[in-house]
Amino acid sequence: MSETNDGGLPKVLSVLDRLTEEELSHLNQVIVARLRLMQQIRAHGHMMKLHVGQSVHFTTAAGQLVSGVIARHNRKSVTVVTKDAQQWRVSPGLLKPD
């Protein structure tokens, strides 16, 4: 929540106390859908900064630095091909341009 809406969270929490289990379940579905949409919008923004043929690098979960060239955009990821012809599917938010 923003700094200008400091009192909003307690109000929301007090309303939650009055909801039924069914209403809470529906609210959960709405919140999850909204979070997924926000993640997709953020990923799309990262994707728009990248183009096929661009040199990029990223760090694997094991801490290894991998460099390569973007071969294609997938729906949720980017395919990066390294000099030794390895292909990696990577979230666009993890890529850094070289």
Q: What is the pLDDT of residues 29-81, one digit of tens each?
A: 999 999 999 988 888 887 888 999 999 999 999 999 999 999 998 878 899 99
**Are 12 and 28 in the same domain?**
yes
Q: How many domains does the chain have?
A: 2
CA distance linking residue 91 with residue 98, whole number of Å: 16
Residues 6+ apart with CB under 8 A from 28: none
C-alpha–C-alpha distance, residues 25 and 19, integer Å: 10
| Domain harbouring 78, CATH code | 2.30.30.140
**What pLDDT score was predicted for residue 19?**
93
Query: What is the token pair recorded at 38?
Result: 């926000």
CB 2 within 8 A of CB 53: no
* pTM for this predicted structure: 0.62
Tens-digit pLDDT profile for residues 1-24: 444 556 788 888 899 999 999 999
β-sheet bridge partners, residue 70: 80
Q: Are 43 and 7 in the same domain?
A: yes
Same domain, 30 and 14: yes
Whether residue 14 sits in one domain with residue 44 = yes
40 and 75 fall within a common domain: no
Domain carrying residue 63: 55-97
For tokens 């728009």, the residue is: 48
Q: Bigger pLDDT: 63 or 93? A: 63
Last residue of a domain, one of 48, 63, 79: 48
